[in-house]
Structure 1
Amino acid sequence: MPFFITVFIILFVLWLHLFCNVSQEKCKAAIQIIINILSASAKNPITICSLDTIPHDPQTMIGRANLDVYKQFSNSDPCYKELFFKKKIYQGEKDIGDLENYTQPPHIPPTLITTPCCVFISQSILTWVKWLLSRPETEKEINDWIQVNHELKNQGYYADIQHGNNLTKTTWTNRPNLFNLRVSLFVDWFNPCGNKISCKLESTGFLAFLCLNLPPSLWNKLSHMCIAGITPGP
């Protein structure tokens, strides 16, 4: 039995690290948690009988964990404000359609929908552009990437937005600057209650602007992004 437990732990941790992209530090914490669970079970074998009480779905587990509500800062008091407002929509018989198969009017429960308490939080993109261009290395990064794209184009490779017709054939009414900066809106959705669990009712969108004149390796770096807002805001 100890051999099979060891193999199980090895396979489980490998699955976390290789397939779920869990870091080595978090895998170490998972190993220690498993060891603590096995140690507690060995001291109290009666706990094995309570396995049926363990929830089999992640959402129920998270609900029973009684996690702390949102805090703006780690040392601040929770605001106890819901990310979404819940609203009921009542339907009538006409919304159901053909009622010939019913001996009596059916019971139509209301539909529960959620509305974000805050739709968008924004900041000035002009402030970010001025800050980005004030960095001493930004101009060099843009010029170096322009040179790389020229060399790729001469070799017959078309792999960047700077090779596209929409950019090369764009005519400016008023030439804004020598760089002709292009930005793209990037949106990524995540669950504020947990990184690995999908949750439609509590989904938060992260909105950011990326400067397409920079090398692609720098687009998703926080040092080069404009965090435009979060929807819905906390």
Structure 2
Amino acid sequence: TQLPHGANSSSIFFQQEFNNWIEWFLSFPKVEASFEEGSAQPLHPDIITNYLHSHACKKIAGLPRRQGSNNAPLNLVFSMFVDCFNPLGNKLAGKQVSLGFMALTCLNLHLSIRYKP
């Protein structure tokens, strides 16, 4: 007998606690320094080229803490992108599989390193 659709998944998921991931993320030497660079004022304040310079972000998240000030809260802003698709094509007939991925981006990072793997 054949198992119902989705019952014999061959998916592999990697997961970890968010607090552990944040600790690992912040352990990189250039990350916290990049927060300051990312929140630096733009050359042209009338033109918004970075989310962190928008009025909405300043209102919601505030600014990241200054280096050396461990007591101040560290307000991080993340963007999550999720996409799933059928790598065999969008055919209704025939074999169907699903491939998906999630990308978590810290918007506080400077643009030069924000989207690096």
- Taking structure 2 as the reference length, what is the TM-score of the superposition? 0.63
Q: Tell whether 2:6 aligns with 1:115.
A: yes
Residue 89 of structure 2, aligned match among 198, 202, 216: 198
Once the two structures are superposed, what CA deviation does each residue of 1:43-73 show, in whole Å capped at 9, x if it has no partner? xxxxxxxxxxxxxxxxxxxxxxxxxxxxxxx
| Alignment gaps of 5+ in structure 1 | 1-84, 88-113, 223-234
Structure 1 residues 166 and 122 mapped into 2: Cα distance closer, same or farther (>3 Å)?
A: farther
Q: Aligned partners of 2:21 and 2:42: how far apart in 1?
A: 30
Give the AA of the match of 2:114. W
- 2:68 corresponds to which residue? none
Residue deviations 1:13-61 (CA, integer Å, cap 9, x gap): xxxxxxxxxxxxxxxxxxxxxxxxxxxxxxxxxxxxxxxxxxxxxxxxx
* Alpha carbons of structure 1 residues 199 and 86: separation in structure 2 relative to 1, 3 Å: farther
Alignment of 1:116-131 (within 5 A): 117=9, 121-131=14-24
Counterpart CA distance in 1 for 2:115 and 2:85 is: 16
Query: Matched residue of 2:82: which SS?
Result: strand
Which residue is 1:185 aligned to? 80
Q: CA distance change for structure 1 residues 136 and 119 in 2, over 3 Å: closer, same or farther?
A: closer
- 2:106 maps to which residue? 211
Match of residue 163 from structure 1 = 53
Paired letter, 1:129: I
Mapped partners of 1:198, 1:215: distance in 2: 37
Q: Which has the higher contact order (CA 8 A, sep 6+)?
A: 2
Q: Which amino acid aligns with 2:47?
A: Y
With over 3 angstroms needed to count, the CA separation of the structure-2 counterparts of 1:129 and 1:169, relative to structure 1, is: same
- State the partner residue of 1:136: 29
Provide the aligned C-alpha RMSD in A.
3.4
Equivalenced residue count is 103
Q: Which amino acid aligns with 1:219?
A: R
- Using the aligned pairs only, state the percent identity: 30
Deviation (angstroms), 1:209: 1.5
Q: Which has the larger radius of gyration?
A: 1
TM-score of the superposed pair, with normalisation by structure 1: 0.36
